[in-house]
Amino acid sequence: MATATRVKHTKFIFVTGGVVSSLGKGLCAASMGALREARGLNIGLQKLDPYLNVDPGTMNPTQHGEVFVTDDGAETDLDLGHYERFVSHRMTRHSNYTSGQIYESVIRKERRGEYLGQTVQVIPHVTNEIRASILAASEGLDLLIVEIGGTVGDIKSLPFLEAIRQLRLQLDARDTVFVHLTLLPFIKTAGEIKTKPTQHSVMKMREIGIQPDILVCRTEEPISRATRDKLAMFTNVRADSVMSLPDQDTIYKVPLVLHGEGLDDKICELLNIWSREPKLDEWKRIVHTLENPRQRVSIGVVGKYVDLAESYKSLHEALIHGGIANNAAVEIVYVDAEQVQAGGADVQLGRLGGVLVPGGFGERGSEGKIAAIRFARERKIPFFGICLGMQMAVCEYARSFADLPGAHSSEFDPNLDGAVIALMAEQQSVTEKGGTMRLGAYDCELAPGSLVARIYGKSRISERHRHRFEFNNRYRERLERAGLRLSGVSPDGSLVEMIELAPETHPFFVGCQFHPEFKSRPTAPHPLFTAYIAASLQYQRTRT
């Protein structure tokens, strides 16, 4: 873990949450980042998570949503995905710390004797460690926005709150702002918005020594002057610092709504930052396109975690971005792979404009994914396979065209004959959880004249990976001879990174071993998603 040095004079916004979880603290922090960036500031974001897991990569996506991967290969909280979609600053492994990582670092130091026989305690040792990781992440920035995960009142959040309380004392008072996000429930029977839970949440904050400077109130409807005044009175926050953030139909409106509430002006005032008015044209254009689409397309995402859209968060957003680039609304239909497997390909997929098989782990649903891919290939429905989706496409092709009826991934059967997807030799002896994963950014060389080279408009790309298994080179020639195009390989040629079918055979059939969704932004939609949505729109037009 890094040590505390401050090269440049950085200012800080600390974002905490009260009353309930899932209020969209990450989105709020990301939107504040977008607003600061629109004013020309060099900003960064950091998320501090109170749970004890040292490796968020091993957490179940149905409980915690997607694992977001950074360029430097950190497996992080999905809020970092929001951050990267809203600001241009790229996240690193220093952008997300869990309590587990903080404690691990403290315990390692204790084992090495670094505390010289002192009693090692939450205050000051754990809180020092937290402060050090915040300061390290702030290096070189004008402003760092730090989101504290969890809800005020949780035992597990206390060391983080204590650490930011200490930071306000340590730093210049005009260098820190505390923003507290809360819920104002609307009680139908009383016909009233209730402020009491927020009053209590701020009381809890003040008990631990933090007076919020700004309240952002999540509500169904905008709040009245009287409610603002009441909240101000009871929470000791100025009335012009009580902001309302009603539910929005698209998340990309949040920066504009917060700007309308005067949040970024207020932050400038409190942090004594002089800056130009924010340039928000791009966000306005995005919202306008989302609200006035010229066409629509439905895309079927065939996967295992269909009950929880959060587990495909970046993918979901990347599809929306592909829609923005095509002036189209994208309806995303989550299709349960097991139902396709049970024989419902036509029913489940027949009416869709495109079929996408996303990343995933484990065997459940894999036959359904293969059935879906076969259906898309035979019907010439645009197909996009990501990570496990590409691996299943290779299996499907091998079964159908390379005389390998049992082709599969050795992830599901290690002794398989016909393992077209397998572990590389050097990975086979590693046993630690997550130990064999290929993680983070890798370069890929695109085949001249391929569909993907045309889509990217260049021959060398860099994309993020998170997987263990690879295209098995033993079957490379055989599959190529059978007509599968290996359109992207690692620079040394040893790993297959992308596959496609010839345009004469299929209008859009692309698989990639990496996760392009992690790099898509509403302001810069990823080229593969833009091209895939364009192909799906085209397919839909010719079909009807």
CB of 362 to ligand GLN, least distance (A): 7
Rounded Cα distance, 315 and 520, in Å: 9
Contacts of residue 225, Cβ cutoff 8 Å, sequence gap at least 6: none
Give burial (CB, 10 Å; 0-12/13-18/19+) of 14: buried
CB of 337 to ligand GLN, least distance (A): 13
**Contacting range for ligand GLN; rule: CB under 6 A; set: 4-12, 114-122, 175-183, 463-471:** 463-471
Place of tokens 């259906």: 375
Among 93, 156, 379, 468, binds ligand GLN (CB under 6 A): 468
Phi, psi of 108 (to 5 degrees): -60, -45
Does 387 participate in catalysis according to the annotation? yes
Closer Cβ to ligand GLN, 509 or 518, answer by number: 518
Closer Cβ to ligand GLN, 237 or 357, answer by number: 357
Among 301, 388, 439, 455, binds ligand GLN (CB under 6 A): 388
**DSSP collapsed to 3 states, 77-97:** CCHHHHHHHHCCCCCCHHHEE
Closer Cβ to ligand GLN, 228 or 438, answer by number: 438
**Looking at residue 173, what DSSP letter applies?**
G
**Residue 94 engages ligand GLN in binding (rule: CB under 6 A):** no
* Cα angle value 140/143/148 (rounded, 5°): 115
Active-site hit among 217, 387, 395, 444: 387
**Contacting range for ligand GLN; rule: CB under 6 A; set: 249-257, 279-287, 356-364, 392-400:** 356-364
Tokens of 518: 């992690």
Active-site hit among 89, 125, 180, 515: 515
Closer Cβ to ligand GLN, 426 or 504, answer by number: 426
**Residue 365 engages ligand GLN in binding (rule: CB under 6 A):** no
Rg (CA), the chain: 25
Rounded Cα distance, 423 and 446, in Å: 23
**Residue 361 engages ligand GLN in binding (rule: CB under 6 A):** yes
Contacts of residue 251, Cβ cutoff 8 Å, sequence gap at least 6: 24, 27, 82
H/E stretch holding 245: strand 242-246
| Binding pattern for the stretch 12-31 against ligand GLN, x by CB under 6 A and - elsewhere | --------------------
Closer Cβ to ligand GLN, 115 or 361, answer by number: 361
Q: Which residue is nearest to ligand GLN (CB)?
A: 359
Does 517 participate in catalysis according to the annotation? yes
Assign 203 to helix, strand or coil.
helix
**Residue 467 engages ligand GLN in binding (rule: CB under 6 A):** yes
Does 506 participate in catalysis according to the annotation? no
**Residue 497 engages ligand GLN in binding (rule: CB under 6 A):** no
**Contacting range for ligand GLN; rule: CB under 6 A; set: 52-60, 306-314, 439-447, 466-474:** 466-474
Q: How many residues bind ligand GLN (CB under 6 A)?
A: 10
CB of 489 to ligand GLN, least distance (A): 17
Closer Cβ to ligand GLN, 200 or 468, answer by number: 468
Among 18, 255, 359, 365, binds ligand GLN (CB under 6 A): 359
- CA-closest candidate to residue 25, choices 53, 48, 41, 44: 48
Pick left, alpha or beta for residue 216 (phi over 0 → left; psi -120 to 50 → alpha; otherwise beta). Answer: beta
**DSSP collapsed to 3 states, 438-458:** EEEEEEEEECCCCHHHHHHCC
Phi, psi of 43 (to 5 degrees): -115, 160
Tokens of 348: 């489940």
**Contacting range for ligand GLN; rule: CB under 6 A; set: 27-35, 81-89, 135-143, 355-363:** 355-363
- The answer to whether the beta carbons of residues 254 and 248 sit under 8 Å apart is yes
Among 387, 489, 495, 528, binds ligand GLN (CB under 6 A): 387
**Residue 50 engages ligand GLN in binding (rule: CB under 6 A):** no
Place of tokens 């915040």: 134
- Beta-bridged to residue 445, according to DSSP, are 460, 489
- 399-438 residues near ligand GLN, rule: CB under 6 A: 411
CB of 46 to ligand GLN, least distance (A): 25
**Looking at residue 329, what DSSP letter applies?**
E
**Contacting range for ligand GLN; rule: CB under 6 A; set: 193-201, 274-282, 357-365, 523-531:** 357-365
**Residue 360 engages ligand GLN in binding (rule: CB under 6 A):** yes
Active-site hit among 84, 445, 500, 517: 517
First to last CA, the chain: 58
Q: Which residues are marked as active site?
A: 387, 515, 517
Q: Which residues bind ligand GLN (CB under 6 A)?
A: 359-361, 387-388, 411, 466-469
